[in-house]
Amino acid sequence: MRMEHPHYGFWLPPNISTHGAEIDKLISVLHWFMLVLFVGWALYLVYCLIRFRERPGHEADISGSTHFSLPKYIEIGIIIFEAVLLVFFSFPIWSKVKRDFPNEADALVVRVTAEQFAWTVHYAGKDGKFGQLKIELIDGTNPVGLDRQDPNGKDDILSPNTLNIPVNKPIIAKLTSKDVIHNFFLPVMRVKQDIIPGMTVPVWFQATQTGKFEIGCAQLCGVGHTQMRGFFNVMSQEEFETWYQEEEKSLLASSDEPLPGKPLEVAKIQTIKESK
């Protein structure tokens, strides 16, 4: 699959998230502020090296008194600026991203399970209910241990290493891990969340553009960490529904139940009398 953004360029990755602009603004302000601090303190260091260098006829003042208080006032100004940035910018933005979740009834809810070194995306069926997960059912074909005998799990869809979502719809992803700490990273959505084994960590986002992108693991999780790459496809609502219906048909075809409208074919059993 060809990525539409093979590289992210010099600055930040493309943003297709509803809350990405606010995060980008905060990151830009922080970086420009740090650049000003770096240049300012570097120039001040050069000034001090020249102004207070050792030379004939000059002695160091070791009395402890100071007559030059500008650095002190600069430090106070920096502290005030950082406090304002934290309280009036960072807190509101992160509160919106981390706490103000959309209503599940209005969103697409998926479960994302991480393991060394793959992703499994679990979609509920048309009933909107997830089937039960059982550890004893986990194997190579059932990475999350989905119980297909559970009425709520018969129509669930498992998508390996691929997250398909509709555009302009809130998405709630409930993250968990089977083994070690991973990190769910969607650069274009400005989503980056640690996944802790034994915990379910929810994140939400909403895409504003269609396209094909990447899912990355941003936490060193083992020798195969670099192979833990997934695909993130943002589709139109019609394309998503078509994909979903195709997955449902594939699920029905692979199950023991007959397809709707198709009679179950039963082979004729030859009796002992007929065989004589």
- Please give the Cα distance from 53 to 75 (Å, whole number): 24
Between these two residues, 85 and 168, which has the higher pLDDT value?
A: 168
Q: Out of 6-15, 32-41, 109-118, 199-208, pick the least confident.
A: 6-15
pLDDT of residue 52 exceeding 60, the answer is yes
Residue 177's pLDDT band (cuts 50, 70, 90): very high
User: Are the CB atoms for 138 and 115 separated by under 8 Å?
Assistant: no
pLDDT of residue 258 exceeding 90, the answer is no
User: Are the CB atoms for 71 and 43 separated by under 8 Å?
Assistant: no
DSSP 225-269: GGG-EEEEEEE-HHHHHHHHHHHHHHHHHHSSSPPTT-PPP-PPP
Residue 9's pLDDT band (cuts 50, 70, 90): low
Q: Out of 4-8, 31-35, 190-194, 218-222, pick the least confident.
A: 4-8
pLDDT tens readout for residues 74-113: 888 889 988 998 888 888 888 888 888 999 999 999 999 9
pLDDT, residue 121, reads 97
- Please give the Cα distance from 241 to 247 (Å, whole number): 10
pLDDT, residue 65, reads 60
Q: What is the pTM of this model?
A: 0.77
From start to end of the chain, where are the E strands?
Answer: 108-115, 118-123, 157-160, 162-166, 171-177, 182-186, 191-195, 201-205, 211-217, 229-235
Structure tokens at 5: 């953004």
pLDDT of residue 255 exceeding 70, the answer is no
Structure tokens at 40: 């300012």
**What Cα–Cα distance (Å) separates residue 154 from each residue in 158, 210, 257?**
11, 30, 10
pLDDT, residue 64, reads 63
pLDDT of residue 254 exceeding 90, the answer is no
Judged by DSSP in three states, 35 sits in helix
pLDDT, residue 253, reads 78
Closest by Cα among 212, 126, 206 to 172: 206
User: Which residue in this structure is represented by tokens 């208080």?
Assistant: 69
Structure tokens at 244: 């979903």
pLDDT of residue 171 exceeding 50, the answer is yes
**What Cα–Cα distance (Å) separates residue 216 from each residue in 197, 219, 220, 228?**
18, 9, 11, 7
* Average pLDDT of the residues of the chain: 86
